[in-house]
């Protein structure tokens, strides 16, 4: 596999070099023709532009230049039988395009020559050596972080500092049903770049939803400016408080190019854009109540992410501001947190 990658790189370099430094009416192409199992170099002179064959196939190249099917097949047969293995084959197309086909060699012979080159100049350990890295300045190395990316968060919600006294103990959540979902549109501005380490400032809006699912048939009620957690008058299959936010995370992101490892640390600010409760009884009847429930309008907290480039990341978020307003008695100092994966 390593040989194939290096071989393709050499072929691309040779074609690009030839196109840049030869005259405008001269084209040099060197490629391996798998159908012939030969290594072929073609030199074209004349006023007619010669297209580079996408499939690197000599038969297609000769056909595109206007040679008849019989003439093309005759040339291919001669090459196949190694008639021109050490000689130069001159071909003139009907339009006057002149070709020189040189360097005709079997693939095996070419690979043997390439092995000699590899033994002399290419050593796997040299790619990580300090001397080799000095040949590639940091400013020419690719960036680890893309300019922008989209992320989908899915995880679990809960909160801390819940009271153990009645009625606050009824605020307990069902941990596996209290889900966190968010959609993130992120920009990454690279601050510094080295051969193996990039530092970026990541920011961008996101839409996040807290789904707080209460245990048993409990729920939340807002009366006289105070929220209370109570057992409802009917049994429920589902009883939850949903709180959506528009957030702005701000993170410093670190990426290691060799290992493909990334780490982001920072904070976020959020604005609550609504809230509602939703219940579903045993008969399937649903009820939704839209209310502010004395929730704080603004939110802020800390966030972290860790993962692999191009793969999923694990995240953790912790609200520094309590979920409910400070004058609440039964819901005092409840601080939400979320964790899960980012895709």
Tokens found for residue 276: 């509602």
Number of folded domains that form the chain: 2
Pick the more confident residue, 136 or 97. Answer: 97
In a domain, 7, yes or no: yes
| Of the residues 90, 122, 154, the one at which a domain ends | 122
Residues 107, 155: one domain? no
What average pLDDT does range 183-192 have in this prediction?
A: 92
* Secondary-structure breakdown of the chain: helix, strand, coil percentages, each rounded to the nearest 5: 20, 45, 35
Query: What is the C-alpha to C-alpha distance for residues 245 and 275, in angstroms, rounded to an integer?
Result: 9
> Does the pLDDT of residue 222 top 70, yes or no?
yes
pLDDT at residue 310, rounded to an integer: 80
Bigger pLDDT: 90 or 20? 90
Same domain, 117 and 64: yes
The answer to whether 15 and 29 are in contact (CB under 8 A) is yes
Picking from 277, 5, 201, 25, the residue whose alpha carbon sits closest to that of residue 114 is 5
pLDDT above 60 (res 112): no
| Per-residue buried b or exposed e for 319-343, using 16+ beta carbons within 10 Å of the residue's own CB | beebbbbeebebbeebbbbbbbebe
Pair 111, 216 in one domain:
no
Q: Check if the beta carbon of residue 293 is closer than 8 Å to that of residue 322.
A: no
What integer pLDDT is reported at residue 44 of this predicted model? 67
Interval 48-73 mean pLDDT: 68
List C-alpha distances in Å: 102 to 55, 62, 172, 289.
19, 14, 81, 82
On whether residue 291 sits in a domain, the answer given is yes
User: Do 315 and 261 share a domain, yes or no?
Assistant: yes
Question: Domain limits at 20?
Answer: 2-122
Instruction: Please check whether residues 181 and 259 belong to one and the same domain.
Output: yes
pLDDT over 90 at 102, yes or no: no
Is the domain of 160 the same as that of 292?
A: yes
Per-position DSSP letters for 32-83, written without gaps between them: EETTTTEEEEEEEESSS--PPPTT--HHHHHHHTT--HHHHHHHHHHHHTTT
Shared-domain flag, residues 113 and 201? no
Are the CB atoms for 67 and 59 separated by under 8 Å?
A: no
How sure is the predictor about 37, in pLDDT bands with cuts at 50, 70 and 90?
Answer: low
Top pLDDT among 60 and 128 is at 60
């Amino acid at each position: 596999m390593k040989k194939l990658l290096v071989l393709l790189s050499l072929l691309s370099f040779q074609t690009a070099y030839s196109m840049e430094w030869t005259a405008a009416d001269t084209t040099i192409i060197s490629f391996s023709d798998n159908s012939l199992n030969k290594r072929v170099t073609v030199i074209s002179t004349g006023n007619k532009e010669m297209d580079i064959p996408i499939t690197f196939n000599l038969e297609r190249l000769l056909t595109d230049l206007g040679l008849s099917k019989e003439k093309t097949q005759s040339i291919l047969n001669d090459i196949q039988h190694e008639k021109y293995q050490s000689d130069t084959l001159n071909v003139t197309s009907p339009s006057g395009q002149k070709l020189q086909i040189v360097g005709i060699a079997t693939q095996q012979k070419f690979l043997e020559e390439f092995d000699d080159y590899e033994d002399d100049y290419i050593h796997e350990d040299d790619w990580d050596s300090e001397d080799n890295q000095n040949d590639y300045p940091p400013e020419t190395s690719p960036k680890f972080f893309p300019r922008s990316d989209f992320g989908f968060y899915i995880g679990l919600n809960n909160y801390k500092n819940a009271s153990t006294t009645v009625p606050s103990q009824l605020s307990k959540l069902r941990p596996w049903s209290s889900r966190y979902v968010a959609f993130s549109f992120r920009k990454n501005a690279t601050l510094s770049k080295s051969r193996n380490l990039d530092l970026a400032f990541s920011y961008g809006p996101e839409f996040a939803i807290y789904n707080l699912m209460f245990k048993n048939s409990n729920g939340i009620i807002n009366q006289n400016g105070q929220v209370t957690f109570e057992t409802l008058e009917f049994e429920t299959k589902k009883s939850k408080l949903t709180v959506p936010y528009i957030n702005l995370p701000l993170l410093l992101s670190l990426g290691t190019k060799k290992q493909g490892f990334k780490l982001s640390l920072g904070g976020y600010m959020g604005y609550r854009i609504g809230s509602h409760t939703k219940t579903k009884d045993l008969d399937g009847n649903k009820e939704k109540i839209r209310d502010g429930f004395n929730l704080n309008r603004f939110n802020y907290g800390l966030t972290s992410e860790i993962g692999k480039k191009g793969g999923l990341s694990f995240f953790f978020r912790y609200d520094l501001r309590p979920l409910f307003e400070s004058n609440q008695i039964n819901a005092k100092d409840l601080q939400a947190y979320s964790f899960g994966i980012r895709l």
